[in-house]
Amino acid sequence: MSIQSLIIDCDPGVDDAVALFLAFAAPELELLAVTTVGGNVPGAKTQRNARIIRQIAGREDVPVFGGAERPLKRPPAGAGAFHGVEGLGDLEPFEPTGIVGDGPAANAIVDLVMSRPEGSVAIAVLGPMTNLALAMRRERRLAERLGPVVVMGGARSEGGNVTASAEFNIWADPDAAAVVFGSGCQVVAFGLDATHQVRATEARIVAIESIDSEAARAAASTLRFSQRVEREIVGWPTFDWGAPLHDPCPIAWLIKPDLFETKPCRIEVETGSDLTRGHTAVEFRIDPATARHRWAVAADAQGVFDLIVAKLKAQTLEAEALEAGA
């Protein structure tokens, strides 16, 4: 089994929570840090929420660093209607015991990447890209040192979920996204074209609920919240179709890439127009040999949920074995 060193940059967020629970349960990932950014809810809450999820998962060994409170150039955005006022849906927030890492997230990203072999550290960006853009500005060599940058963000054929053509994470800080996509680093992007294929149907939520662990129950709770919100706000027939599961897709790809089909492309982000702010222009008509970007076009939805169930079950069994041997 190969192990990927990974930083997760996120704005928890109900689907961020499921992504973190998956990553915390995956032995294929060496989690160097979780960094947080203002996005779905304000930065103070995303940092607290990451620490809550870390504590529920029993992974206090992974440092959490708070990061940017606002986008590079624009007022803060928010998506509390889809994540709850506190960002964790129906989960009751509490003050976690684990500490916050020393220093801002951008500095932690630079230090962790530059101190490791070139290309060995991946970063999964599950919220606005502000922290990574700031890190790239502070260390000009960062892009060439990074391993794959896996991103949840953007939209092409599906259209947007904030405007007609923009997905929330890119729309929230398009200037940061433009920095990252234009940096020359290798980016694999999981936009709405792929994540809308991965839906939390009733049967898939029940499968997670059947696992006897606090992490599984918390993950299922966030999915139940999303199911209800999508039905009430968006009006989709979610009991038959299921709410889309966005942020776990990049994590699932890092663990099991054959769950997704990606295509080489060039991605550019609109930053100048208010009408099309955050639009991702995904161009497939390029020479694949020169492509620095890939775009996810298809996903094995059942495979993604089977992976989540398998990792959470294995983590539960390991915890039970450790407790029995204590």
DSSP states of 247-279 as a string? Answer: THHHHHHHH-GGGEEEEEEEEEE--S-STTTT-
pLDDT class for 44, splitting at 50, 70, 90?
A: very high
Q: Is the pLDDT of residue 229 over 90?
A: no
For residues 68 and 72, give the distance between their C-alpha atoms in angstroms, rounded to a whole number.
9
Kindly tell me the sign of the dihedral angle through the C-alpha atoms of 315, 318, 324, 326. Answer: negative
Distance CA 129, CA 185 (A): 14
pLDDT at 319: 85
Could you report the per-residue pLDDT of 110-143, keeping only the tens digit for each? 999 999 999 999 999 999 999 999 999 999 999 9
pLDDT tens per residue across span 56-107: 999 999 999 999 999 999 999 887 777 888 999 999 999 999 889 988 999 9
> In which band, very low, low, confident or very high, does the pLDDT at 258 lie, cut at 50, 70 and 90?
very high
Q: By residue range, what is the domain housing residue 49?
A: 4-325
Among candidate residues 193, 122, 288, 31, the one with its CA nearest the CA of residue 21: 31
Is residue 188 over pLDDT 90? yes
| pLDDT at site 240 | 63
Determine the pLDDT at residue 238: 52
In the structure, what pLDDT confidence band is assigned to residue 313 with cuts at 50, 70 and 90? very high
Average pLDDT over residues 248-261: 98
- What is the CATH classification number for the domain harbouring 187? 3.90.245.10
Q: Please, which pLDDT band fits residue 241 given cuts at 50, 70 and 90?
A: confident
Spatial CA neighbour of 308 closest among 240, 241, 229, 211: 211
Kindly state the helix (H) or strand (E) to which residue 22 belongs, with its residue range.
helix 14-24
- Say whether 246 is catalytic: yes
**Catalytic residue, candidates 83, 196, 246, 279:** 246
**Pairing mode, strands 199-200 and 243-244:** antiparallel
Domain count, the chain: 1
Residues in contact with 17: Cβ distance below 8 Å, sequence separation at least 6, in sequence order: 49, 53, 88, 91, 218, 219, 222
In the beta sheet, which residues pair with residue 282?
Answer: 267
**Tell me, what amino acid is at 249?**
C
Average pLDDT value for the chain: 94
The answer on pLDDT for 244 being more than 70 is yes
What is the mean predicted confidence (pLDDT) over 167-181?
A: 98
pLDDT value at 1 more than 70: yes
For 287, phi then psi, to 5°, come to -75, 115
The pLDDT-based confidence of 163 (bands split at 50, 70, 90) is very high
User: For residues 299 and 138, what is the distance between their CA atoms, to the nearest angstrom?
Assistant: 35
Beta strands in the chain (DSSP E): 4-10, 29-36, 64-66, 121-125, 149-152, 187-190, 199-200, 243-244, 260-269, 280-283, 293-299
pLDDT value at residue 216: 98
